[in-house]
Amino acid sequence: MTDLLTRTIAAITPLDADAMRAAEARQLQLTKPPKALGRLETLSIQLAGIQGKAQPVIESKAIAVMAADHGVTAEGVSAFPAEVTPGMVFNFAAGGAAINVIGRHVGARVLVTDVGVNADLSAAEGVRQKKVRMGTANMAQEPAMTREQAVRAIEIGIELVEEELGKGLDIIATGEMGIGNTTAASAVIAALTGEPAATVTGRGTGISAAALPAKVAVIEKALAVNQPDAADAIDVLAKVGGLEIAAMTGVFLGGAAHRIPVVMDGFISAAAALAAVRLCHECVDYILPSHVSIEIGHQVVLDELGLVPLFDLQMRLGEGTGAALSMSIIEAAARILSEMATFESAGVAGDPSDADAELTR
């Protein structure tokens, strides 16, 4: 591993227990029955532990959208051609995609990075030009990329977090664009969990039910050809992953190293989160799951990481849309903890410690 990756992993430490205890104590003093706000309360306590503040702040928000192409599209695994990837990046740059709309809605800046799109995107205004290579190779025939390229893509995600710290960053969401990336994500998840490819592979962009077995077969072939090492997440990313998946892995690691909560989006983001946790287990406490995708493999990762999503809106777009949407809920959890009156400050009679024991269960 490089100095940057090694340093980043070494900087990831457990959540701040003192901040969490202080946040929990304050929750018990707020003008409501204990635990009446359910997961908003536990979420606020987790945020306190992540930021190391008894009253965490969620104001400055960013969405990291990583874009790259996949050579495996040559196997016919997607309902859309690879040319859609650069077209959508230009759409992101113009502010016309779903992630731009939701980003504006929640007050988050959308940061688009070309990690490996198989096209010249130098004319895409505002896009971070960080291309590692012109898309991955066809993983059904050979490794998707070299180990060095996978590490460089991870570094790009870490660097993005560190660049944004200077602009103010309280939370960051992961998003992606890359035709063929559900195939790569399924392969990564199958390799890291040992689950059969069929168990973690869905219809992605909307291939027909009849085409799904062929997609599964392509993933099985890629795993057989490349023999990724389940104990080595970088090897898995290099052999059957994607450049944007590796870059999101870096965002998860970089956020955790700098005590920034990182919001996991859907299926592709989940593959990156799993890789990040395999590289550093403590990273899992800094990951906030947003929603559950209708892609079947997403729930496998959530179960593997012990994470429960905030909502299920039957989404499968990617781009970071679910993660961005959840920022409103996450911000609300932090604001309740810091802005809600206590019984003492509001002059409301009642001692929370006397509340019905049923409410505290």
Calculate the CA 198 to chain-centre distance. Answer: 23
Supply 107's token pair: 């007050």
Please, are residues 286 and 181 in contact by the beta-carbon 8 Å criterion? no
Quote helix, strand, coil % in the chain, to nearest 5. 50, 10, 40
The one catalytic residue among 319, 339, 344, 358 = 319
Please report, as a single letter, which amino acid is at residue 3. Answer: D
- 319 a catalytic residue: yes
Close Cβ partners of 215 (under 8 Å, ≥ 6 residues apart): 77, 183, 201, 204, 207
Dump the DSSP string for 239-307.
HH--HHHHHHHHHHHHHHHTT--EEE-SHHHHHHHHHHHHH-GGGGGGEEE-B--SSHHHHHHHHHHT-
Would you please indicate which residues are annotated as catalytic (active-site) residues?
A: 319
